[in-house]
């Protein structure tokens, strides 16, 4: 009986040892089968996406500043340059500049104006106008979406001027040609979309989230092409 007990004891120890050994081997094999893939990306902080379009400064005068995708502050430029997605332009008190994006859109910046080129994809341009006056002209190929405070202005063909007063938190859109759609949420979070026609002025107060539409005094419909100026 004593021998039988000793035999069973060693048998259990042997079985446990083999089982533990196989478990360790299986775990090692399993770990070898886990392959961490190499992640590759074409993203570049300094360069815009390859499918995005680029703008060109057609003319400039006075103080004009440019901020790259990787910079934290704008720098003064003295000659025209390429503008890409993610960059910004600003003008001083006597500065003016005109930017053309692939013959689809023309932006004319007045003095004391600040604008960011958020997106320049072929299907839609998204800009943010923080202050000042910009005249936008484009054809029907690529719509322009302009954000100013909590207001979105979408122009799909024609000409309009957006005046943003950063201090008063007001935005005024004057439509000279075509139509512009304005979208915003009121103080009760109700979404509102307003269509503004040529010859009309859309005034938006960001503080009260209220808007009104008025007529341009003595307005005469433009007959020129979008890029005439």
Domain ranges of the chain: 1-33, 54-215
Pick the CATH number of 54-215 from 2.60.40.10, 3.40.630.10, 3.40.50.300, 2.60.120.1440: 2.60.120.1440
> For 88-103, what is each residue's pLDDT tens digit?
999 999 999 999 998 7
Long-range contact pairs involving 67-75 (C-beta distance under 8 Å, separation at least 24) = 69/45, 70/45, 70/46
pLDDT tens sequence across 116-144: 999 999 888 999 999 999 999 988 678 89
Q: Which two tokens stand for residue 62?
A: 């006075």
Confidence bin at 14 (pLDDT 50/70/90): low
Residue found under tokens 């122009």: 155
Q: Measured between alpha carbons, how far is 78 from 91 in angstroms, rounded to an integer?
A: 12
Q: What is the pTM of this model?
A: 0.77
Query: Higher confidence at residue 19 or residue 41?
Result: 19
Residue 189 region, left (φ>0) first, then alpha (ψ -120 to 50), else beta? Answer: left
25-65 residue pLDDT tens: 555 555 444 455 554 445 455 677 888 999 999 999 999 99
Widest CA span in the chain:
119
Written as one string, the DSSP assignment of 68-97 is -SS-SS-EEESS--EEETT-EEEE-TT-EE
């Amino acid at each position: 009986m004593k021998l039988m007990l000793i035999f069973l004891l060693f048998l259990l120890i042997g079985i446990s040892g083999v089982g533990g050994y196989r478990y360790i081997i299986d775990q090692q094999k399993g770990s070898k089968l886990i392959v961490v893939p190499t992640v590759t990306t074409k993203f570049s902080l300094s360069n815009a996406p390859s499918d995005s379009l680029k703008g060109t400064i057609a003319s400039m005068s006075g103080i004009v500043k440019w901020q790259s995708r990787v910079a934290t502050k704008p720098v003064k430029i003295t000659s025209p340059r390429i503008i890409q997605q993610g960059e910004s332009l600003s003008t001083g008190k006597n500065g003016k500049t005109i930017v053309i994006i692939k013959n689809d859109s023309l932006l004319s910046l007045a003095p004391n104006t600040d604008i960011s080129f958020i997106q320049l994809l072929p299907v839609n341009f998204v800009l943010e106008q923080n202050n000042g006056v910009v005249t936008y002209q484009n054809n029907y190929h690529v719509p322009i979406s302009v954000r100013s405070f909590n207001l979105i202005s979408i122009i799909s063909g024609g000409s309009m001027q957006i005046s943003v007063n950063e201090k008063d938190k007001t935005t005024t859109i004057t439509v000279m040609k075509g139509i512009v759609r304005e979208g915003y949420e009121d103080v009760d979070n109700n979404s509102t979309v307003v269509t503004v026609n040529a010859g009309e002025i859309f005034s938006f107060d960001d503080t009260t989230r209220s808007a009104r539409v008025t007529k341009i005094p003595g307005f005469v419909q433009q007959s020129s092409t979008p890029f005439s100026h």
